[in-house]
Amino acid sequence: MAAEVRGASAARAVLPPGRGRGSSVSSIVCYLTGLSHIDPVENDLFLGRFLNEELSALPDIDLDFPRDIREVLIPRVHGRYGHDRSGLVAAFATYHSRSAIRDFGKVLGIPAGEVERAARSAEPWGDDDVERHVGQAIGRRTDSPRWKALVRLVQDASHLPRHQTQHPGGMVISTQPLNRICPIQPAAMDGRQMVQWDKESCADVGFLKIDLLGLGMLSAVERCVDEIARVRDETIDLSRIDWDDKQVYSEIQAAETMGVFQIESRAQMQMLKRTLPESLDDLTVQVALVRPGPIQGGAVHPYIERRKALRADPTYRVPYEHPSLEPVLKDTLGAIVFQDQVIEVAMAFAGFTPGEAEGLRRAMSKKRSEAAMRSFAEKFVAGAVSRGASQEVAERVYDQIVGFSGFGFPKAHSAAFGLLAYQSTWLRVHFPAEFLCALLNEQPMGFYPPDTLVHEAQRRGIEVLAPDIRVSVADCRTEAGAVRVGLGYVKGVSGDDVRALVEERERAPFGSVEDLAARCRARADSLERLAWAGALDGLVEDGRREALWRLGVAAPGVRVVDGTQLALPIDVSAPELDELTPWERLLADYGSTNVTLRDHPIGLMRPSLDAHVLSSEALERCRDGELVRVAGMVVARQRPATANGITFMLLEDELGTINLIVPVKIYERHRLVVRSEPLVIADGKLERREGVTNILVSSLRRLDRPDLPVGEVRHIEPRRVWSNDEDTGNLRSVVPAAHSFGRRG
């Protein structure tokens, strides 16, 4: 069905319509029928999830598709199997502190601004210390009855159901009419329906569940291949590229992977410089390594150290807790990295049957039963001892797999994702402009906002051009090795207006702003937004202000049944207008497209910053252990559950990026700064290990300057174009929001 609906393009002529993920990749049947693109035998994948005589439940089949295919595939499944026998799976969202503060704050009539400030100060997932967090954000007003009631309600509502929603991609297909088995209801989108059971309930009743998931990187890869075909007249078949490309692995080992699938996060980048992957097998392990399971199970450090030892001495013998573990853990150097290794260890080391081993894996899920875990522990240790292991070793191995806790990738899943990681890196290395263009067109996706992707590409020598009404189309496109930002990137300009502009331009080029306003059918507000983004600069001599002025006096065309009735042009000379300052241009760029192509905020601030504030480039010349001060724009924040409360921040300045490690005490002391400030200045100690540079933060504050420019409202500049802040049009109101990751609790 995916092949039927995907349409024709250069990429889709050579790429599969979708790709398997999860344990389905290890199914021989899925591979032979085209549901998976990884040969499970050649890649030595564990087949026990499917070839198991004690199988009591059907494993899920997870499939990834480009986003546009998934949108039409779900209705096609309904059409093929019937609405009476297919439906989407439900999910039940529960209250956490932020959603509870917003909902109950509104009910209690607390001012919206105060509610939002309190919500942003709270932990996204953790519900502890709500009273303290709200108090830090609001102050003494929390002593009022309404605020006390809000705190109490938030605590009482924790983890209670908030609303029913739709599983990200799960569908069930039944041999019997669904309405005889479970309640069903129309989904939010037309032509779809949803069962009122979640995935656990569907599994309990024995439904076949297939996850049809939209993967942004698959869409980006297809876009990239299409763009290469358009610009270079060359069709790339990613299944036939060189899998041992030295340049690709050189970039991976240097952690030059921004925008690449799965290995672009700061944690992955820092790990890459230590593990130095050299093959697809190495990438398969790499993808799975930075996950809660391997981290909690203590697998990461042993794996890295053993790789280092093998590089230094190829005769080095990897230590194993017991000889029976060597065949199972050989690929991961004695560490438990993959989810299916839990099953294999239980079978090889403790003598479990495949069904018992699968039961252990399931028992270690998030909803594990303590009683079940105790019974498995006794059986595991007894089985290992009976097979020659000591009590101490048996307990230690069991502790490792319990620490893993099931929060890890199956090897099959990692193999599929590792392959896509390599393919995306290959495109980044050999077709950098086309790859950046594809990433920008598929936003939102990945670890970094578009602004950061653009700045990193510029540092690599890729030219990025502003939107231009004379040549731009809706999407970003490549032009002679450069990337041209599309008109669709300008906020507030509808797709219909962009199409109308491009269609009219293709009939005849626009000769002036007045000609544009008279001929096109776009809304006046859209034209103003395009002018403020600089897209009309090519039609005037003095830039954005002149373009806005001319739009204000131009006579617009009038829409009629057969098209646009042209107005008589008004020949008026524009007055002398001040040119935009660098600050004003930066504010306009961020406010209109969320991307600045010229000056960086920190670069403009640099002359007035303290001389001791170092740039990211200057940090490379500092010694390990040196006390430093840095400033930057916050790109990403991470507070993973496995880090014991430590927060990781990524800053960007005009020359590169800076990694901050914020200890728990510093986080609590500067909590609002860490969580909400877009521009910060940090003091700390520089740490450099194996090519990785971090700053262990000792203090953190918002970056302030007395002369920080404010985007004052001017009669000729429509404020709504570039600022969505009700109180101030300053840099903080338009700078791109940092991406936040991680879940506590």
**Per-residue pLDDT tens digits for 236-255:** 888 889 999 999 999 999 99
| Percent of residues, the chain, with pLDDT higher than 70 | 83
For residue 136, pLDDT beyond 80: no
Strands (DSSP E) contained in 551-691 are 558-560, 563-565, 613-614, 627-638, 647-652, 657-662, 679-689
If you average pLDDT over residues 167-191, what whole number do you get? 83
Q: Which has the minimum average pLDDT: 108-117, 265-274, 685-694?
A: 108-117
Averaged pLDDT for residues 720-732: 44
- Please determine, for residue 309, whether its predicted confidence score (pLDDT) is greater than 90: yes
pLDDT band at 552 (very low <50, low <70, confident <90, very high): confident
What's the pLDDT tens digit per position in 190-227?
778 888 888 888 877 878 778 888 888 988 998 999 89
Query: What pLDDT score was predicted for residue 50?
Result: 61
Where is 702: in which H helix or E strand?
strand 692-702
Instruction: Give pLDDT, residue 65.
Output: 79
Q: Please state which of the ranges 32-46, 88-102, 180-194 shows the lowest mean pLDDT.
A: 32-46
Average pLDDT over residues 291-317: 89
By DSSP bridging, strand 184-186 and strand 193-195 are antiparallel
DSSP state of 196: S
Please state the φ and ψ torsions of residue 479, each to the nearest 5 degrees: -135, 110
Highest mean pLDDT among 126-140, 464-478, 515-529, 564-578 belongs to 464-478
What is the C-alpha separation between 103 and 158, in angstroms, rounded?
12
Average pLDDT estimate for 19-38? 70
Residue 607's Cβ-count burial label (10 Å; 0-12, 13-18, 19+) is exposed
Beta strands in 445-568 (DSSP E): 464-465, 477-479, 482-484, 558-560, 563-565
pLDDT band per the 50, 70, 90 thresholds, residue 626 = very high
Three-class HEC string of 714-740? ECCECHHHCCCCCCCCEHHHHCCCCEE
Q: What whole-number percentage of the chain has pLDDT above 90?
A: 28
What is residue 318's predicted lDDT score, i.e. its pLDDT?
A: 92
Place of tokens 């000769």: 511
Q: What is the pLDDT of residue 656?
A: 92
Query: Which of 130-134, 500-504, 623-627 is most confident?
Result: 623-627
Residue 9 has a pLDDT of: 59
Residue 148: the pLDDT is: 82
Q: Which of 100-104, 320-324, 330-334, 739-743 has the lowest mean pLDDT?
A: 739-743
